[in-house]
Amino acid sequence: MTSKKKHSKPAVLYLSLLAVLLIIITLAFLNSNDTVTNTFTSGDVKIALTEPNYPGNDSPEVNDLVPYDTVKKDPKITNTGSNDAVVFLKVTVPMAKVTVADKNGIKGSSVVQELFWLKNSFTDHEEPAATFNDGWEKLEEFCISSDDSCTYVFGYKNILPVGSSTNTLFDYVQLKNIIDTSNIDTDIQNIKIEAFAIQSDYLKTDDSSDYLTIDQLDDIYRLI
């Protein structure tokens, strides 16, 4: 456990990226754990959460990050069970009260915000926005100041057949252009990813399509 401390220095952070797979029950991991790819079985539903290009928590690529640094992180879900499934990803991103400069070096106001952008591979390196890949629908977005985090919930728009994988939700994370880290309590920042799945039998749309609307995904997510 890293002790909390206040400090003032250039924006250099250590990024600990955790991948956690769950169905209903959240599995807890210490911050010092390496990225773990797990499988979890509930009835006939079995999925695997993977990040094929993530270099690992011990890699130099995730240490001593400075503004605009990127780390490959590409979560996706594979249906390894014997039944088709509806799948979801929940991503929790750290936040703090920080001052960020734009790509032209113009200083912004000090506000509570996320420390990282989540981006797909088609996004310009300096584009100040979170971007996600096709196939996913954002269902929820909420920030909790007391937890210093923002959480996103995404549903996959198509029922996932046995043996198939989703598109990656995003492809890399990028540290924002933070001017200082004086309001960040710890050097280690966690991005947590959780995967959920539910058997799709009796949950299919009214027609023969395996496509799911945002309302259908939201209703199904409430069942988990």
- Measured distance CA(173)–CA(188) in Å, rounded: 15
Per the structure, the count of domains in the chain is 1
Residue 4 lies in a domain: no
Q: Report residue 73: phi and psi, to 5°.
A: -155, 115
Residue 8 lies in a domain: no
Residue 198 lies in a domain: yes
Q: 151-162 in b/e burial notation, b at 16+ Cβ within 10 A?
A: bbbbbbbbbbee
DSSP string across 24-67: SBPPP--TTSPP---EEEETTEEEEEE-TT---TTSGGGSSB-T
Order across the sheet with 45-50: list the strands.
39-42, 45-50, 76-79
Q: What range defines the domain where residue 24 resides?
A: 14-221
Residue 9 lies in a domain: no
Specify the pTM.
Answer: 0.80
- Measured distance CA(34)–CA(16) in Å, rounded: 8
Residue 7 lies in a domain: no
- One digit per residue, the tens of pLDDT, for the chain of length 224 reads 343 444 434 445 555 555 544 433 233 332 323 344 455 544 578 999 999 999 988 888 888 888 899 999 999 999 999 899 999 999 999 999 898 988 888 888 888 999 999 999 998 888 888 999 999 999 999 998 777 899 999 999 999 999 999 999 999 999 999 987 777 766 788 899 999 999 988 776 566 678 999 999 999 999 88
Chain position carrying tokens 């959920």 = 196
Query: Residue 73's pLDDT is what?
Result: 95
Query: Residue 11's pLDDT is what?
Result: 44
Query: Residue 38's pLDDT is what?
Result: 54
Which two tokens mark 152? 């996103």
Query: Residue 48's pLDDT is what?
Result: 94
